[in-house]
Chains A and B, each alone.
Chain A
Amino acid sequence: MSRQKLASLGLVALVALATGFVVADQLRTQLLTPSNQVARYQALVRSVQELESTNAESRRQIAELRAAIDALEADAAGRSSTTQSLRREVAELRARAGLIAMHGPGVEVVLRNGVAGPGPTTSGSHLVNFQDVQDVVNLLFTYGAEGIAVNGRRLTPLTAFSGSEGQIVIDQGTPLSSPITVAAVGDRNRMMDALGDPSALPDVRAREVQFQLQLRVAGSPDVTLPAYDSSLQIPNVKPA
């Protein structure tokens, strides 16, 4: 083999090697980044799942503790008329605070996600968000609801709604997403009339047309609401 041929073969090998390094580096950059993203995302998802599991367990324990306290109070009330009177007062306050399950005539409102529209400007508008739930709840309270639960989460005088796209967080609960059922006990006719008013819930109505967001309403002679199972701590409030 001539020296010239050897030199050209060596050059080709060098170029091939350099190309190989460049391609390998490029591939590593392009492939490892997504796989790291996935790993990071999966770690975050695992954290959320663990926290949600702890959350559910804590709420179960709180419900058990409240039931145990109620039984002990009932026992004590059986031995003293003073305790009995105090217990009656507490029972009324607890019912108002959502700490006791209730039932009665009412309505059930179901909200479901619609269909995504074209373009990024409408992103998320087809999803049921916390403001929708907040608006339905406010409407129901304005028109005669005496107690409300959202997907089985009882509302209290301290309830607040938050969340991001398509996720609804109520108090210390885990995030909820579509379908969302708002169950209310109270003046069924007034609530049904209010929900049937086309001028009520303007944002939801507009998205019903634009994104096929769904709002279904049904009256019922007997709606049952569970007791609140989370925290009602008010560490900063003192009597004036």
Chain B
Amino acid sequence: MSSRRSGQARRAPARVRGVSLWLIALLVALVATIQIRSQAEVERSLVGVDVTSLAFLIDDLHRANESLDAEKSDLSRRRLALSSGQSGAADQELTDEISRLKLLEGLVPVRGPGVVMLIDASGLTALDLQDALNNLGAGGAEALEVNGRRVVTGLPVAEESDGVAIDGVIVVPPWQITAIGDATRLADVADLMTQQLRADRRVRSATYRMETDAAIRSVVSEKPFVYAIPS
């Protein structure tokens, strides 16, 4: 009897130990599962875009939406003026539109605040100039000129045997790039660009200055459509 009791007493702690081990194993498995799932969730949601890029994207979208709001306001005002039916309202609106489109298409000389960059280098290519112009455009440039040649998107900037050409005319370094737009934003872009350019071994010097009233006197020559049919 006593040996049976002592045997039962030995089996009871052994059972408890077994249950405890199972419980611990279960807890460890639970914690591990939660931990792995949490990490997987983070990784899955972060695929492709990091938080910093998202923050920049939000900033860009805010700016874009503000610009769209300004365009909507302007268009609403024009629609209202045209709807008034007042004599001469349509002519005035159309004349204003012609002036505005000529400014943005580079068909007339312009002035305004902005920056002037000076890049002295040898061996820079058309891709380098395209990048520089695109960076300034993305930074809010509303009008651009390189060495007295007006540049708008759509005008060929190409590599030729004698160097980089804008619409077929070679622009020999040093390049002086004039950009008109929000001077503070453009200065930020120009600052970053000049820092990067100075790290380029092909570049002898890269500087910029802010202008309260920069002038761009060159214009783009109009080319008629040969293939395109406006619908």
Q: Interface on A for B, CB 8 Å cutoff? A: 27, 30-31, 34-35, 37-38, 40-42, 44-45, 47-48, 51-52, 54-55, 58-59, 61-62, 65-66, 68-69, 72-73, 76-77, 80, 82-83, 86-87, 89-91, 93-97, 100-106, 131, 134-135, 138, 141-142, 144-148, 155-162, 164-167, 169, 171-175, 185-188, 224, 230-240
Q: Is the CB of A101 within 8 A of B134?
A: no
Count residues of B near A (Cβ-Cβ below 8 Å): 92
Q: Is the CB of A72 within 8 A of B83?
A: yes
Which chain A residues lie closer than 8 Å to B101 at the CB level?
A: 90, 93-94, 96-97
- 6 more contacts with CB within 8 A, not counting A62-B72, A233-B67, A234-B143, are A45-B45, A97-B104, A145-B154, A156-B153, A159-B153, A172-B68
A106 to B229, CA, bound (A): 12
Which chain A residues lie closer than 8 Å to B227 at the CB level?
A: 104-106, 144, 146, 185-188
Q: Is the CB of B105 within 8 A of A93?
A: yes
Q: Is the CB of A66 within 8 A of B70?
A: no
- Give the residue name and chain of the B residue nearest to A106 (CB): B227
Residue of B58, B109, B183 touching A47 (CB-CB under 8 A) = B58
A104 to B156, CA, bound (A): 20
- Give the residue name and chain of the A residue nearest to B156 (CB): A142
Q: Interface on B for A, CB 8 Å cutoff? A: 31, 34-35, 38-39, 41-42, 45-46, 48-49, 51, 53-58, 60-65, 67-72, 74-76, 78-79, 82-83, 89-91, 93-95, 97-106, 108-114, 126-127, 130-131, 134, 137-138, 141-143, 152-158, 180-183, 215-217, 222, 225-231
In order of increasing CB-CB distance, the 9 nearest A-B pairs are A160-B137, A76-B90, A172-B64, A231-B71, A240-B109, A157-B152, A65-B75, A51-B61, A86-B94
Q: Is the CB of A138 within 8 A of B216?
A: no
- Give the residue name and chain of the B residue nearest to A74 (CB): B90
Known: A72-B90, A103-B228. A164 touches B53 (CB 8 A): yes
CB distance from B109 to the nearest CB of A (A): 4
Which chain B residues lie closer than 8 Å to A138 at the CB level?
A: 126, 130, 156-157
CB distance from A153 to the nearest CB of B (A): 12
Q: Is the CB of A103 within 8 A of B231?
A: yes
A140 to B44, CA, bound (A): 38
Residue of A61, A104, A166, A187 touching B229 (CB-CB under 8 A) = A104
Q: Is the CB of A236 within 8 A of B114?
A: yes
Which chain B residues lie closer than 8 Å to A238 at the CB level?
A: 103, 110-112
